[in-house]
Amino acid sequence: MMRAIFAAGAMAALLSAAQAEPFGTVPPRQPFVTTLSNNTPLAFGMDAEQTARALGQPLQYVRGPPGNEIYLALRNIGGSGLIPYRHRLFLQFRHGRLAGWKEDYGENWMWE
């Protein structure tokens, strides 16, 4: 009996604390970029550390002399339970700054 009273009191406290919007009003619309998983976009001129932070993962060195490197970011974006879905993002740096990027969707396994 005491548990039921306590549960009812806790539920009432939670419901009264929640801020509900008046019926019939539309909630404010969020900008499109806030719904993206990567809401910190890449920008020309970023250094390697800023780029890794924007992508949320470390960069892997591919080739190139110091300052003019090409890095790789393997982006695991899920997929089905049978086939993992990864995008390879190649990043070109010139003079230590991001100069361009190219996304490679991998090999087309259907035509091999």
| Per-residue pLDDT tens listing for the chain (112 residues) | 666 676 666 666 555 544 555 666 776 776 665 655 555 678 899 999 999 998 888 999 999 999 899 999 887 666 666 666 667 889 999 999 999 988 776 665 555 4
Could you give the CA distance from residue 67 to residue 108 in angstroms, rounded to a whole number?
33
The closest of 62, 48, 41 to 93, measured between CA atoms, is 48
Domain that holds residue 104: 2-111
Structural domains of the chain, count: 1
Could you give the CA distance from residue 112 to residue 109 in angstroms, rounded to a whole number?
5
